């Protein structure tokens, strides 16, 4: 642990302690009605902790090159990809606050810490508006805003790896949302984020040579054109009592650092459908289908090759596309079978990039939830990588949840 | 381009909605999380309100999907009635967060948390999930005690009057009618069930303690070993033995609970399975709270009367 990490951990522990003390005080001063005293225990803030452990084996020796997500299994054997402290509550009558702090152990066995999200949300703006600000997952498609604990598979979809890097599209910024006054659900959102940092992968990350093969240009935020804009429109309707559809279109538009004036545009479309029995027990049985397709146009400027500084790569348009589709079947209470198919590909360029090469993956899995607070998942991955070949992996994932009851968005 | 078409769409939507708004402006938009709360709200609100329930009458109210259509419903609500006591904890908070409706925020006149004035049963003295999914504020299935339904009705009437003072007299009158009907009905239900005082019953989940307490029945076993934990064969074997010993001859199940499990236990213990949906609307013809209790009391009496 670095000094900074220790500091952060100390703050988190202190925060927990403070809440417990508050709750204790509240409980002590409450009247003797047990129900009211119990309310004191949840005072001010919900605290939850979710922890994932992966175990398995892959025919690929270098698992990290196969599993590109930051919270994917990373090595043969054990991986602790994501232990997450979630805090949320009402700040005051006007704001709600959220924080997700991730602890993980990297493939070298070192502890790492990440301020995944820390943001406020307004509660009572007029005209159906809502403002979010801080560090957060950008609202692009469906999977991008989901935390590893609510993923339906042990790993991140390939298309998200390709468009947004190992850790989804997230960063420091603000987002305004408008719930349209239509009789069916329609929400329009625009996020504005800084363009730099490792989680702004299609934009000004220092890792951008994986995309364009060149040495990243020095950049800084000077004006509006240095920011990334993330508009999204989502709509939803029910069919009868048992089926719901959610449709969305998203974009992420901003500068990249292949050169001083280069830019990227990522477009995405998503569809979610769910059927749930009218007499569902604990939410089962159900069938859901989710798919997302994305396209990125990366305008790479003329740049110096990172592998060979004597070579200049020409200005070119790098086009990448990818999609996944997954179906989940909640067979009976606590048991879910899933199947995901994925494909990602990129156009030819003046350089070779492992990340932009064609890839296909097929992943059947089976998840058993002893309760809502624990799960055991078995997943097989069939991978086919251009110029590398086929790989087979088998993973077991275990999760436990402590504290606040997890509520899930649809 | 996208922005332009979005603005056009939005403008059209605003015009359409304001037209709709004028047509319905007179009635209070009431949303209840579950159909039983909706039925009481409808009885109190009468012609002055439109009532909508989020949960379906046949589904498990602990596990409702936070569907976007519910966001729209909550966004337009003047009053929200929820059970509280963590019944809707898994799905209501994210809906409220997206609904951005200050009228139904905590402690607003437009928010009725029904459990707030109820003397809750089974409030745990410690929070420990190894005991199952225990609700820290107590058992949330409190509306099956008719006296609790009266408390909730008064609570609702009070809030309706605050939000919509011009119809306050109507809400008061409806509450009086509701209470008078309830008093008469309660005597009738108690009379019907009086011969079975002390009768031993079995339920799937811990969802009938309030009914049992009011009518002097005794819940001796639940098919779930712990709240929210699926029945195991070993536990069911124990339940069967205990049922034979205690002469418990009725197993109460709801539409979303496993009837098959209940039937297996019933076969081996000589009991009968009784379908007892707790929500009005789950069975045709059962729409009001009184219909619901009539149906439950009738079924219970018939089953317990069997030799």
Mean pLDDT per block of 10 residues along chain A (410 residues) reads: 45 43 36 40 81 96 94 95 94 94 91 95 94 98 95 97 96 97 97 94 94 89 87 97 97 95 96 95 94 98 93 96 98 96 96 92 97 95 96 98 79
Q: What is the residue-averaged pLDDT of chain B?
A: 92
Q: How many angstroms separate the CA of residue A5 from the nearest CA in chain B?
A: 31
Question: Nearest residue of A to residue B133 by CA position?
Answer: A371
Query: What is the structure's pLDDT at B125?
Result: 87
Beta bridge partners of A196: A204
**Which of B13, B59, B94 lies at the smallest CB-CB distance from A278?**
B59
**B14/A181 Cβ within 8 A:** yes
pLDDT reading at B23 higher than 90: no
Enumerate the residues of chain B whose CB falls inside 8 A of the CB of residue A125.
Answer: 100
pLDDT reading at B110 higher than 70: yes
Q: Which two tokens stand for residue B194?
A: 């009086």
CB A54 within 8 A of CB A387: no
In whole angstroms, what is the distance from residue A344 CA to residue A322 CA? 4
Q: What is the DSSP letter of B175?
A: H
Using pLDDT thresholds of 50, 70 and 90, give the confidence band for residue B88: very high
Q: Where are the beta strands (DSSP E) in A21-169?
A: 46-58, 77-90, 95-105, 111-122, 129-137
Using pLDDT thresholds of 50, 70 and 90, give the confidence band for residue B226: very high
CB B256 within 8 A of CB B60: yes
In whole angstroms, what is the distance from residue B157 CA to residue B173 CA? 10
Range B228-249 average pLDDT: 94
Q: Which two tokens stand for residue B130?
A: 């190894």
Using pLDDT thresholds of 50, 70 and 90, give the confidence band for residue B13: low
Enumerate the residues of chain B whose CB falls inside 8 A of the CB of residue A41.
Answer: 127, 136
Enumerate the residues of chain B whose CB falls inside 8 A of the CB of residue A92.
Answer: none
For residue B37, whether the previous peptide bond is cis, meaning omega lies within 30 degrees of 0, is no
Q: How many angstroms separate the CA of residue A333 from the nearest CA in chain B?
A: 8
Q: How many angstroms separate the CA of residue B256 from the nearest CA in chain A?
A: 5
Burial bucket for residue A89 (CB in 10 Å: 0-12, 13-18, 19+)? middle
In whole angstroms, what is the distance from residue B54 CA to residue B30 CA? 11
| Angle of CA points A76, A78, A80, to nearest 5° | 130
Using pLDDT thresholds of 50, 70 and 90, give the confidence band for residue B205: very high
Question: Nearest residue of B to residue A242 by CA position?
Answer: B56
Closest C-alpha to B99, from A355, A258, A185: A185
CB A52 within 8 A of CB A149: yes
**Which of A128, A279, A372 lies at the smallest CB-CB distance from B255?**
A279
Indicate the helix (H) or strand (E) that contains B113: strand B111-113
Q: Where are the beta strands (DSSP E) in A91-159?
A: 95-105, 111-122, 129-137
Least confident residue range of A345-359, B5-19, B288-302: B5-19
Query: What is the structure's pLDDT at B4?
Result: 57
**Which of A233, A281, A283 lies at the smallest CB-CB distance from B257?**
A281
Phi, psi of A141 (to 5 degrees): 65, -155
pLDDT reading at B81 higher than 90: yes
**Which of A125, A276, A334 lies at the smallest CB-CB distance from B65?**
A276
**Cα dihedral angle (B139, B282, B99, B20), rounded to 10 degrees?**
-150
Q: Which two tokens stand for residue B102?
A: 């200050």
Closest C-alpha to A160, from A202, A102, A221: A202
In whole angstroms, what is the distance from residue B266 CA to residue B273 CA? 6
Residue B209 C-alpha from the chain's centroid: 14
Enumerate the residues of chain A whose CB falls inside 8 A of the CB of residue B56.
Answer: 241, 278
Phi, psi of A371 (to 5 degrees): -145, -175
Phi, psi of B113 (to 5 degrees): -100, 100
Enumerate the residues of chain B whose CB falls inside 8 A of the CB of residue A145.
Answer: none
In whole angstroms, what is the distance from residue B222 CA to residue B205 CA? 6
**A405/B90 Cβ within 8 A:** yes
Site of tokens 């959102």: A189
Q: Which two tokens stand for residue A322?
A: 């990818």
CB-based burial, A385-397: b 16+ in 10 Å, e otherwise: beeeeebebebbb
Q: Which two tokens stand for residue A277?
A: 């029995």
Enumerate the residues of chain B whose CB falls inside 8 A of the CB of residue A122.
Answer: 100
**B60/A38 Cβ within 8 A:** no
Burial bucket for residue A67 (CB in 10 Å: 0-12, 13-18, 19+)? buried
Enumerate the residues of chain A whose CB falls inside 8 A of the CB of residue B102.
Answer: 123-124
Enumerate the residues of chain A whose CB falls inside 8 A of the CB of residue B86.
Answer: 405
**B105/A124 Cβ within 8 A:** yes
**Which of B3, B60, B72 lies at the smallest CB-CB distance from A185?**
B72
Query: What is the structure's pLDDT at A171?
Result: 95
Neighbours of A301 (CB within 10 A): 19
For residue A285, whether the previous peptide bond is cis, meaning omega lies within 30 degrees of 0, is yes
Query: What is the structure's pLDDT at B307?
Result: 72
Q: Which two tokens stand for residue B291?
A: 């219909």
Calculate what percentage of chain B has a pLDDT beyond 90. 84
**Which of B69, B100, B127 lies at the smallest CB-CB distance from A179?**
B100
In whole angstroms, what is the distance from residue B51 CA to residue B270 CA? 43
What order of strands is seen across the sheet that includes strand B250-253? B218-222, B200-203, B250-253, B272-275
Taking CA atoms, B286 is separated from A262, B55, B57, B279, B294, in Å, by: 66, 16, 11, 9, 9
Give the contacts of B212 (CB within 8 A, at least 6 positions apart).
B201, B218, B219
**B20/A123 Cβ within 8 A:** no
B218-223 CB contacts, 8 Å cutoff, 24+ apart: B220/B246, B220/B248, B221/B246, B221/B248, B223/B251, B223/B257, B223/B261, B223/B262, B223/B265
CA count, 13 A, side-chain hemisphere, B50: 12
């Amino acid at each position: 642990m670095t000094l900074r990490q220790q500091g952060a951990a100390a703050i988190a522990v202190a925060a927990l302690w403070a809440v417990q003390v508050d709750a204790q005080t509240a409980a002590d001063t409450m009247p003797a009605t047990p129900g009211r005293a119990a309310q004191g225990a949840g005072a001010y803030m919900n605290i939850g902790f979710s922890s994932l452990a992966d175990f398995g084996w892959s025919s690929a020796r270098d698992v990290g090159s196969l599993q590109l997500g930051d919270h994917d299994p990373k090595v043969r054997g054990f991986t602790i990809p994501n232990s997450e402290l979630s805090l949320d509550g009402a700040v005051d009558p006007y704001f709600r606050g959220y924080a997700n702090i991730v602890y993980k152990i990297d493939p070298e066995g070192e502890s790492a810490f990440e301020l995944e999200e820390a943001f406020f949300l307004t509660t009572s703006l007029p005209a159906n508006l809502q403002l979010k600000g801080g560090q957060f997952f950008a609202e692009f498609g469906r999977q991008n805003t989901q935390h590893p604990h609510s993923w339906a598979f042990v790993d991140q979809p390939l298309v998200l790896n390709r468009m947004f890097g190992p850790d989804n599209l997230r960063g420091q910024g603000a987002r305004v949302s408008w719930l349209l006054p239509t009789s069916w659900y329609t929400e329009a959102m625009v996020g504005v984020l800084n363009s730099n940092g490792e989680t702004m992968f299609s934009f000004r990350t220092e890792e951008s040579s994986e995309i364009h093969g060149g040495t990243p240009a020095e950049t800084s935020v000077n004006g509006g054109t240095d920011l990334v804009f993330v508009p999204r429109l989502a709509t939803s309707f029910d069919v009868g009592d048992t089926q719901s559809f959610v449709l969305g279109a998203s974009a992420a538009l901003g500068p990249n650092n292949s050169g001083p004036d280069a830019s990227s545009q990522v477009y995405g479309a998503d569809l979610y459908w769910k059927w749930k029995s009218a007499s569902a027990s604990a939410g089962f049985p159900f069938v859901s289908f989710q798919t997302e397709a994305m396209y990125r146009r990366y305008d790479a400027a003329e740049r110096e090759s990172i592998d060979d500084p004597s070579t200049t790569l020409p200005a070119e348009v790098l086009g990448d596309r990818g999609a996944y589709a997954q179906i989940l079947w909640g067979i009976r209470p606590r048991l879910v079978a899933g199947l995901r198919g994925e494909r990602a590909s990129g156009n030819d360029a003046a350089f070779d990039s492992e990340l932009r090469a064609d890839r296909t993956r097929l992943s059947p899995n089976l998840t058993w939830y002893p309760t809502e607070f624990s799960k055991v998942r078995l997943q097989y991955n069939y991978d086919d990588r251009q110029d590398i070949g086929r790989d087979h992996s088998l993973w077991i994932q275990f999760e436990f949840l402590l504290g606040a009851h997890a509520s899930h968005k649809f | 381009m996208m922005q332009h078409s979005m603005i056009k769409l939005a403008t059209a939507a605003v015009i359409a909605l304001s037209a709709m708004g004028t047509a319905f402006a007179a009635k209070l938009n009431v949303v209840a999380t579950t159909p039983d709360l909706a039925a009481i709200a409808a009885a109190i609100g009468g012609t002055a309100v439109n009532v909508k329930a989020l949960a379906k009458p046949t589904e498990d109210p602990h596990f409702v999907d936070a569907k976007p259509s519910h966001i729209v419903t909550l966004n337009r609500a003047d009053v929200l009635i929820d059970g509280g006591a963590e019944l809707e904890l898994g799905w209501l908070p994210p809906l409220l967060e997206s609904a951005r409706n200050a009228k139904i925020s905590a402690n607003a006149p437009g928010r009725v948390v029904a459990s707030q004035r109820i003397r809750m049963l089974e409030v745990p003295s410690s929070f420990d999930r190894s005991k199952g999914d225990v609700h820290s504020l107590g058992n949330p299935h409190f509306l099956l005690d008719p006296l609790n339904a009266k408390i909730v009705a008064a609570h609702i009437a009070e809030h309706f009057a605050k939000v919509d003072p011009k119809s306050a007299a109507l809400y008061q009158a409806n509450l009086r009618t509701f209470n008078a009907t309830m008093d008469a009905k309660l005597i009738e239900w108690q009379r019907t069930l009086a011969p079975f005082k002390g009768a031993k019953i079995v339920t799937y989940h811990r969802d009938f303690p309030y009914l049992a307490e009011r009518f002097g029945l005794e819940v001796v076993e639940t098919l779930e070993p712990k709240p929210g934990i699926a029945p195991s064969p070993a536990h069911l074997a124990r339940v069967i033995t205990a049922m034979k010993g205690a002469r418990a001859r009725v197993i109460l199940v709801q539409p979303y609970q496993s009837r098959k499990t209940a039937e297996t236990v019933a076969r081996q213990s000589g009991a009968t399975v009784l379908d007892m949906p707790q929500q009005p609307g789950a069975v045709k013809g059962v729409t009001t709270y009184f219909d619901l209790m009539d149906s439950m009391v009738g079924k219970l009496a018939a089953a317990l009367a069997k030799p």
